[in-house]
Amino acid sequence: MNHQTIQFETRGGIGIMTLNRPERLNAINRQMIDETKELLTALEKDDSLRVLVLQGAGRGFCSGFDLKDGAAAERTGIAEWRPVIERDFDFIMQFWHFPKPTIAAVHGAAIAAGCELAMACDITIADATARFGEPELRFGSGIVALLMPWMAGPKKAKEWLLSGFDRIGAEEALSWGLINRAVPAGEHVDAALKLARDIAVNDRQKVAMVKQAINRSLDIMGFREALAMGMEMEVQIEAMDTPEGREFDEIVRRDGLKAALAWRDARFDRT
């Protein structure tokens, strides 16, 4: 496959997928969504693949969905927003539902949908440079895949999501269950590959069945229904017309996205 926004290689039954838009901190655009779906659909049928490791090229893991794409498409109303949010939700959750184990190897920024993507992988390993968070409410959006309450619990999820805090370090993320391991800077990929090799030596079909059983146990507790509710809430949030949302959009149209983000940040004490 000839992809531009992602790269893929295999090492002895371990697949390494790299988000490859380093000039945009690996922001997720429509092309990346389409190329990832194509790759994962093919890998589902590849019996030689035992484990998939996901990493980001350049300075960070992923900065979320590309805001430039969103700003360029002027959508209004639930009917226009629902297919977009459903597409974004499916992009994140395909790593959760992928039949083979997925491991996120995180460095630098894992923000907004990038944070959700790291949580959607079965196992997440982050190095000391990693920074997690979901600042969506700060620019008038909601949460596409509401995974954080399931990982960190409702109290911490409310603190982080309602404030839009996006500077959660690896050690704090570890203490609240957002990640599995925190490792020294630059060691995230090696640690992920070592764990992938430990998983890969086990029976492929039985590993897949145990992953499925764990996921289904969460479904019994309401996981799938809760995420569907959260996605529907995000559709409604995006379709809402509020004074702050109108002002943000007007600044985007008049002065560009960078100016709108500066206006957003200037309203908060960043110290």
Output the pLDDT for position 220.
98
Question: 73 falls in which pLDDT band (50, 70, 90)?
Answer: low
Average pLDDT, the chain: 93
Question: How many domains is the chain built from?
Answer: 1
Q: Is residue 75 part of a domain?
A: yes
Average pLDDT over residues 158-163: 97
Q: Distance between CA atoms of 70 and 47, rounded to whole angstroms?
A: 37
Q: Is residue 1 part of a domain?
A: no
CATH number at residue 32: 3.90.226.10
For 76-132, write each residue's pLDDT tens digit.
789 999 999 999 999 999 999 999 999 999 999 999 999 999 999 999 999 999 999
Average pLDDT over residues 18-32: 97
Residue 66 in this model has a pLDDT that exceeds 60: yes
Beta strands in the chain (DSSP E): 6-11, 14-19, 51-56, 102-106, 109-111, 123-127, 131-133, 168-169, 181-183
Comparison of pLDDT for 267 and 223, the residue scoring more: 223
The pTM for the full model equals 0.93
Residue 205 in this model has a pLDDT that exceeds 80: yes
Q: Distance between CA atoms of 231 and 219, rounded to whole angstroms?
A: 16
Q: Is residue 268 part of a domain?
A: no
Q: What percent of the chain has pLDDT over 90?
A: 81
Whether residue 159 lies in the annotated active site? no
Q: Is residue 251 part of a domain?
A: no
Q: Distance between CA atoms of 83 and 30, rounded to whole angstroms?
A: 13
Residue with tokens 């109290």: 155
Residue 268 in this model has a pLDDT that exceeds 70: no
User: Considering 35, 134, 136, 234, which one is annotated as catalytic?
Assistant: 136
Q: Is residue 255 part of a domain?
A: no
| Whether the Cβ atoms of residue 123 and residue 195 lie closer than 8 Å to each other | yes
Three-point CA angle 135, 141, 143, nearest 5°: 70
Average pLDDT over residues 64-68: 88
| Whether the Cβ atoms of residue 168 and residue 159 lie closer than 8 Å to each other | no
User: Considering 116, 134, 234, 238, which one is annotated as catalytic?
Assistant: 116
Residue 267 in this model has a pLDDT that exceeds 80: no
Q: Is residue 142 part of a domain?
A: yes
Output the pLDDT for position 70.
63
Q: Is residue 219 part of a domain?
A: yes
Domain housing 183: 6-240
Residue 203 in this model has a pLDDT that exceeds 90: yes
Average pLDDT over residues 225-254: 89
Here the contacts of 166-171 (C-beta below 8 Å, separation 24 or greater) are 166/111, 166/112, 166/131, 166/132, 166/133, 166/134, 166/135, 167/131, 167/133, 168/131, 168/132, 168/133, 169/128, 169/130, 169/131, 169/132, 170/106, 170/126, 170/127, 170/128, 170/129, 170/130
Q: Is residue 259 part of a domain?
A: no
Output the pLDDT for position 204.
96
Out of 21-30, 33-42, 134-143, which region has the weakest mean confidence (pLDDT)? 134-143
Whether residue 136 lies in the annotated active site? yes
Average pLDDT over residues 244-271: 77
Question: 151 falls in which pLDDT band (50, 70, 90)?
Answer: very high
Average pLDDT over residues 19-29: 97
